[in-house]
Structure 1
Amino acid sequence: MAKYQVSKSIDVRGEVCPIPDVETKRALKDMKPGEILEVWIDYPLSKERIPETVKKLGHEVLEIEEVGKSEWKIYIKVK
């Protein structure tokens, strides 16, 4: 069973900054409060930058889950 009720998922693996940040912001803009965005990344700097950006936008980072060697999923709750 999934940890979160994911409303939307984006996969930006293989991309480097600023693409993961830009795509995350674009996805969040189209979402409603309470929905959860799942972001797949493999660029280590994005693991730091995306949560900072999300918090500045007023949303909540629920979890950064390591899913492989240099691969993560970031769960973001839209506020």
Structure 2
Amino acid sequence: MAKYDVTKSIDVRGEVCPVPDVETKRALKKMKAGEILEVWIDYAMSKERIPEAVKNLGHEVLEIEETGTSEWKIYIKVK
């Protein structure tokens, strides 16, 4: 059973700054309030940068889940 009702998922594993940040912002712009974006990353700096950018945009980071060695999923609720 999934933790969240994910509306959209993007996979930016293998990408380095600024690609994960830019792709996350691009996806969020196309989404409606209440929807949930799941972002797959494997770049450690993005684990810090994406949540900071998301909060500055007024959205909510629900969770940063470690899915493997140096691999995470970030769940973002659009506000």
Q: Shorter-chain TM-score: what band? A: over 0.9
Instruction: Name the structure 2 match of 1:11.
Output: 11
Structure 1 unaligned segments of length 5 or more: list them: none
| TM-score (norm. length: structure 2) | 1.00
| TM-score (norm. length: structure 1) | 1.00
One-letter identity of the residue aligned with 2:6:
V
One-letter identity of the residue aligned with 1:78:
V
What percent identity do the matched residue pairs reach?
A: 86
- Supply the RMSD in Å over aligned alpha carbons: 0.1
Task: Tell me, in whole angstroms, the C-alpha distance in 2 between the residues paired with 1:5 and 1:60.
Answer: 15
Alignment of 1:1-79 (within 5 A): 1-79=1-79
Question: What's the offset of the Cα at 1:74?
Answer: 0.0
Structure 2 unaligned segments of length 5 or more: list them: none
Q: How many residues align?
A: 79
Structure 1 moving runs of 4+ over 6 Å: none
